[in-house]
Structure 1
Amino acid sequence: MPRIKVKGAEFNFNPIRDSYNRRAQQFKNEIIAILRKINLTEDDVEVKLEANCRINAPGVAEWYYEGFRLYFSCKLYDKYAENLYVVLKVIEFYVNAFVNKEISLDEFTAKFSEENDIEKQRKEARQLLGVSDECLDMNEISKNYKELAKKYHPDMPEGNLEMFKKINNAHKMLKRELE
């Protein structure tokens, strides 16, 4: 069973081979159970299940805590159920750290705080950096980022400070999603 590291959380990953819908439902229930440790109810948590959990779709969990909209999505794998498993494990890691007072409320919310239109922003960031809308390769994103940042750096002949800032923000947003 390989170990993977996502957003600072390291855990075992066992690829799912069958019963995708049932396992996705179990993962959803586990996410809700974990978030109950911080006094959330099922109504505070939203995990939309796909009709067919074997398809290639991101796993997404969203919840509200202490006035913050917290959100985490993962699309590292080809199957929705596997992506939802990764979401479960990352949430479990940070909720346990928060409950055990290993991280503060600010650190916890910083890990999962996202804006309402984050998926749209990520798509625009990928377009700005010249990669496909589905690109998950951080090496390709970084390569394009370096070329564009060099081209639009304010000290260069074609320099444009506004464009340079947009390129930097796009790279930071995608780096946060993928690392």
Structure 2
Amino acid sequence: MGAFPYIASKQRSEKFLYSLPINFVPVRLFVASDSAFNRIEDIHGKRLCIPHGYSIGKAEQTVIDQFAMKINRAKDGIGCVGQVQRGWSDAGLTNGYIQAIKLRHQTETEDPIRIFPQALYSEPLYFLISKSYPDAQLWMDRFNQAFVQLAENGQKQQIDQLFLAALSKQ
């Protein structure tokens, strides 16, 4: 019936209904661990890797425009890490909950990237339902109503805390 998590995009909004924002993910910039870029401002005019299939939303476009970056594409997020390590791209964007040390087992190298601590933006994530699904708007309204109730009674905040605690243990 529906899917989560998705960011908002013009293309998706043509086919899907969006819920209220369920949570927000901080987005951070990463560079190669041996990069000479020591400040986010150092990436001005450089190459930014974004995986194929990832939407470039308003927030990503703001970063691209603000830093006059050129876009390179890779197969996936790990592909972007590889491009940045090899110097084919200068930087990438990552979910702010990911830590560089967690990538060791996927890339087989010591801390393949360095993630800047400051978040560039916070990306809202949504539950989606296809507009072609029977009674899609009714289902979305029900979902949003239940979500508001979870937030009002404090259960959403409890779920968020459990999620953050689980992330810190990985």
> Relative contact order (C-alpha < 8 Å, sep 6+): which is higher?
2
User: TM-score of the superposition, structure 2-length normalised?
Assistant: 0.25
Q: Answer 1 or 2: which has greater strand percent.
A: 2
More helix by share: 1
